Structure 1
Amino acid sequence: MSNSIQTKSYTPTPSRKVAFLGLGVMGWPMAGHLARAGHGVTVYNRTAAKAADWCAEFADAATSPGRAATPREAAAGADIVFCCVGNDDDLRSVTLGSDGAFAGMKPGAIFVDHTTASAEVARELAAAAQQAGLQFIDAPVSGGQAGAQNGVLTVMCGGDATAFATMKPAAECFARAVTLLGASGSGQLAKMVNQIAIAGLVQGLSEAVAFGQNAGLDMNAVLDVIGKGAAQSWQMDNRGKTMVEGKFDFGFAVDWMRKDLGLCLDEARRNGSALPVTAVVDQFYGDVQRAGGQRWDTSSLITRLRTKR
């Protein structure tokens, strides 16, 4: 985990007392950027040893980081509590109950959730926070592990405009774009739009690369050419050549993508949207999981096409 964040020039902002709950592949570098930018950071992680390791790595930050045994303890006295955990149930476990963050937060403090979760749980927790005299911003991110390490994530937010304006300067420590898109739940819905768009792109890119290889083309050269035209995309620029090489041991895992696409499909059933391509790609990712690719990068969709030649 050492050297997990890249050097970045931070915009000077007032130092705040913050907490960060969840030190996974995203949360670790995000919390690290907050510490490097001069904020006083207290961390909580379900595996306490990881929190100790994080504190050791960022011990040279301007304000010595700390760690807490519970979310409530981490949140005590914080102006902003950031969170990035696994799913709806994980999110409830760190916010609600006697040891949850909401129980420890001071009146008016802001809880910023970077978990990719359902819009329903965002609205549920926003209501619980309001009842407790707190603010809640749902703020899922896009950009993957590399974006978190480089501090260039895209953050999609839902919630109160005043609370958003307060948390935005701190979030910009690990992001290049932090945008309010509407009321509570809007950030999660925007992340679903993002994942729906990516699912179709990755399947299309997989088919294109596999087709070109079957045709005997030098696909690295082809990608260089078509990447300068209308076919260009982030996926092509960042995953095209690794797909050609058959390398998938990095990036956003298939298990996570299936979780996200499940949220999209559930929401589509609620709002009456037709997602035929997304539903098919979700099934294709199921094939990848069954082939042992649960932790492969999402670009591993191409393996389905290669195994069926």
Structure 2
Amino acid sequence: MAKCAFIGLGVMGYPMAGHLQKSGHSVRVYNRTTAKAEKWAAEFGGAFAPTPAKAAEGAEFVFCCVGNDDDLRSVITGPDGALAGMNAGTILVDHTTASANVARDLYELAAKQDVSMIDAPVSGGQAGAENGVLTVMCGGDQSAFDKAAPVIDAFARSCKLMGETGSGQLTKMVNQICIAGLVQGLSEAMNFGNKAGLDMTKVIDVISKGAAGSWQMENRGQTMVDGKFDFGFAVDWMRKDLGICLDEAGRNGARLPVTALVDQFYAQVQARGGNRWDTSSLIDLLAKA
């Protein structure tokens, strides 16, 4: 069992850190809102610290799951950042969905003090985090991955090394590009079926068993038809992720016409006040055009 720190107790990090503690690892957490760290410690029996540096002291593995590039830099670097409390040989595992560039920058910064870093964004949403069945896509050195993977297994169904540093983040971008186009197609299909007067519960039950089936259809099809968007990944975060994808595409020359269009559709959802609706809320633009 390992000594771990976990930085960031949002809807993903809170249960992920909990799975580590329940698996027998010793976990000390940090969260910007101390009350949430105190609540976590009371619920799971771990400890909490006043700064990322204090959380990281003595840890063999330091996990992080925060909002974006700027948040990540703020909790990793500086006098109170996690790196300030990490010893040589520690492994930093970052589950934030961030840019490949920040992953590479922090990898190099960590290496200067003999700390390994793995960029390890996740897929599976809040339900996957709560149930301990996330998909983790990693970038970094094989030796660090081999040490970290058994610990990551506490909250993962699948954990793979995709390549060198930044490869985890690039893989997550592929994931988000796929989801963006799929949810728009599903939104159009569900709205079309409604307008055609079909019993959409029956439709979803039938077509989800065939070539049109997907995780999104199985888990969001009916709630989309019902106009309920209080599940899963928020529109604000999806726009952040798609912005990262579009920025990276600008560098590598990939064309993302559908992704760019769906990103603008999500901007329209935000304009309707749907910032915290989940990503399936694209159908609202069609149902209430």
Q: Which of the five TM-score ranges fits, normalised by the shorter chain?
A: over 0.9
The match for 2:247 among 252, 261, 266 is 266
Q: Which amino acid aligns with 1:58?
A: F
TM-score norm. by structure 2 comes to: 1.00
Within 5 A, what are the aligned runs for 1:23-172?
23-59=9-45, 65-172=46-153
- Between the aligned partners of 1:66 and 1:57, the Cα distance in structure 2 is 10
What is the one-letter code of the residue matched to 1:104?
G
Distance 2:111 2:88 in 1: 10
Q: Distance in 2 between matches of 1:245 and 1:171?
A: 36
> AA paired with 2:7?
L
Amino acid at match of 1:268: A
Question: Aligned ranges for residues 220-231 of structure 1 at < 5 Å?
Answer: 220-231=201-212
Aligned equivalents of 1:28 and 1:193: distance in 2?
25
- Which residue identity does 1:29 align to in structure 2? P
Match of 1:189 in 2: 170
Q: Please, which runs of 5 or more residues in structure 1 have no aligned partner?
A: 1-14, 60-64
SS of alignment partner, residue 274 of structure 2: coil
Matched with 1:20 is 6
Q: By how many angstroms is 1:229 displaced?
A: 0.5
Alignment-derived partner of residue 275 in structure 2: 294
Q: How much does 1:307 deviate?
A: 1.2
Question: Which residue, 202, 212, 215 being the options, matches 2:196?
Answer: 215
- The runs of 4+ residues in structure 1 deviating greater than 4 Å are none
Q: Distance in 1 between matches of 2:4 and 2:100?
A: 24
Letter of the aligned partner of 1:238 in structure 2?
N
AA at the equivalent of 1:209: M
Q: How many corresponding residue pairs?
A: 289
- How far apart, CA to CA, are the structure 2 residues paired with 1:66 and 1:54? 8
Residue 157 of structure 1 deviates from its aligned partner by 0.2
Gaps of 5+ in 2: none
- Report the CA distance between 1:250 and its aligned residue: 1.8
Distance in 2 (CA, whole Å) between partners of 1:232 and 1:112 is 33
Deviations 1:159-199 (A, max 9, x none): 01000010001101000001000000000000000000000
Q: How many percent of aligned residue pairs carry the same amino acid? A: 69
User: Which amino acid in structure 2 is aligned with residue 306 of structure 1?
Assistant: A
Question: What amino acid maps onto 1:279 in structure 2?
Answer: A
Offset at 1:56?
A: 0.6
The Cα offsets for residues 4-24 of structure 1, whole Å up to 9 and x where unpaired, read as: xxxxxxxxxxx1000000000
- C-alpha offsets along residues 120-156 of structure 1, whole Å, 9 cap, x if unaligned? 0000000001111100000000000000000000000
* Cα drift, residue 95 of structure 1: 0.6
Deviation of the 1:249 alpha carbon: 1.0
| Cα shift at 1:267 | 0.1
Give the 3-state SS of the residue equivalent to 1:81 in structure 2. strand
SS at 1:25's partner residue?
coil
Give the match for residue 234 of structure 2.
Answer: 253
CA distance in 2, matches of 1:68, 1:44: 5
Please tell me whether residue 306 in structure 1 is matched to residue 287 in structure 2: yes
Q: Deviations over 1:238-289 (max 9, x none)?
A: 0001101111012100000000000000000000000000000000000000
Are residue 175 (structure 1) and residue 156 (structure 2) matched?
A: yes
Question: Following the alignment from structure 1 to structure 2, what is the Cα–Cα distance between the partners of residues 105 and 41?
Answer: 15
In structure 1, C-alpha distance between the alignment counterparts of 2:209 and 2:50, rounded to whole Å: 51
Q: Secondary structure at the match of 2:66?
A: coil
Report the RMSD for the aligned CA atoms in angstroms: 0.4
SS of corresponding position for 1:181: strand
Q: Distance in 1 between matches of 2:19 and 2:152?
A: 9
- Any idea what SS the aligned residue of 2:163 has? coil
Structure 1 SS opposite 2:239: helix
